[in-house]
Amino acid sequence: MNKIFNPKFFTLLKTGIDRKQISTEVLSGIVVGIVALPLAIAFAVASGVSPEKGLITAIVAGFLISFLGGSRVQIGGPTGAFIVIVYGIVEKFGIEGLMISTIMAGFFLIAFGLLKLGTLLKYFPHPLVVGFTSGIALVIFSTQIKDALGLPIDKVPSDFIEKWVMYFDNINHINITALLITIVTILITIYSKKIISKIPGSFISIILITLLVHILDLPVTTIETFFGEIPSEIHFSIPNFHFDNLQHYIAPALTIALLGSIESLLSAVVSDGMIGGKHRSNTELIAQGIANIVTPFFGGIPATGAIARTATNVKNGGRTPIAGMVHAITLLLIMLFLGSWAKLIPMSCLAGILIVIAYNMSEWRSFISILRSSYFDILVLLSTFLLTVFVDLTVAIEVGVVLSALLFMKRMSLITEKRINNVIDSDLIEDYSMLPKGLNIFH
């Protein structure tokens, strides 16, 4: 058990952490907390839940993932990958259904870790992962058109085609102010790093645009318009559930668990390359599971390792889990003392930030390169992509896992094809008669 679950933080405590490094960790954690603020709010709103749920997730899950995780630098919280699945669960089962699904997903993640499946998840083929992420990116982009254009639509359909039909039906009602805010937000988010590299563009755009809208009293919808006041406190609550209905939540819970495990371990691998370290995959899965079990009781949504925030942590000098815990504490302080100001953020500003995130998620270069590879790779890519966009992420993952297993078996059969005696290169063995009787050579 100790070998399966062995948090990096406790290992580092035993070996000792340099005092100078601790100050670097604190500074990195504060920067990452500032980066996480607009993202946590944006991901929550795009998922169809209130903004504080994103902040609570980044606070509670972010702290637990760093405290108990198997990576030195992993930053946990809500991510763009979960937007599609969370939105679907909330629409079908409501907030309590999301809570139950997330808690069940946490138990699945712990089971993955205890069964030492962390090392096996790396065998998911690249076309499968690109298909998911590209599909999710397109869905996220499509969900932001209403706010980006300021369209007067009360309820946006969940179906991809119906959504775009409604957008075109309302195209004559574009709010020019909202559209300009979206464009300016995108430009600031992308290009501000050329001027101010230490502060994220998303944070700069939210501060500037919100102040501008508030001072000039511009006619655009804000978070307050949709959600009212943002609570500056965290409550503990237990969801109502009946054991007879638990089977309805198995599929969405498994989707959350698989998606979360893939993204968190991918993030851990990327960060390993950046710091020259090695994460403990099974410990990481168990920590993710614990975080997803605990967070819903405080009002949070699914959480996993976030690649962008983890990379920001590394670039700012973070080398221990202390930075991740400080990031969570920073967000807690912001929520307690500055949360009331977040209600003034324009929805079109959040839409601009999410459009940039969707573009970065799209992996369009990888998508195009896979389309030039083998037919089976193309089949896996397009199947998972199209199912994610037009059907459902749960179905896409179920089909994707089966296709990835078939792809893995196909590749194993190719590299283990045996060629006996007479196909061995003559340069290797000149006289086969010299081989002992009953001995075959495999190539």
| Position 161 in a domain | yes
Which range is most confident: 171-180, 304-313, 361-370?
171-180
Query: Which residues is 304 bridged to in the sheet?
Result: 77
Question: By residue range, what is the domain housing residue 209?
Answer: 8-231+242-411
422 pLDDT above the threshold of 80: no
Q: Structure tokens of 369?
A: 């390169």
421 pLDDT above the threshold of 50: no
Number of domains in the chain: 1
Specify the pLDDT at position 433.
58
Q: Structure tokens of 281?
A: 């995959």
| Position 401 in a domain | yes
Q: Give the span between the Cα atoms of 3 and 11, in whole angstroms.
A: 12
- Mean pLDDT over 40-60 rounds to 94
User: Which residue stretches of 192-305 are H helix?
Assistant: 201-216, 223-227, 250-275, 281-294
Q: Structure tokens of 358?
A: 């969707």
Task: Tell me the residue type at 167.
Answer: Y
Band of pLDDT at residue 286, cut at 50, 70 and 90: very high
At 218-241, the pLDDT tens digits run 999 998 888 888 787 888 988 887
| Position 300 in a domain | yes
Mean per-residue pLDDT of the chain? 87
Angle in degrees, CA 136, 138, 141, rounded to 5: 110
Query: Considering the entire predicted model, what is its pTM?
Result: 0.82
Band of pLDDT at residue 196, cut at 50, 70 and 90: confident
442 pLDDT above the threshold of 80: no
| Position 106 in a domain | yes
| Position 425 in a domain | no
Alpha carbon 334 to chain centroid, angstroms: 22
| Position 160 in a domain | yes
Range name among 147-151, 346-350, 356-360 with the lowest pLDDT average: 356-360
Specify the pLDDT at position 97.
93
Band of pLDDT at residue 81, cut at 50, 70 and 90: confident
| Position 422 in a domain | no
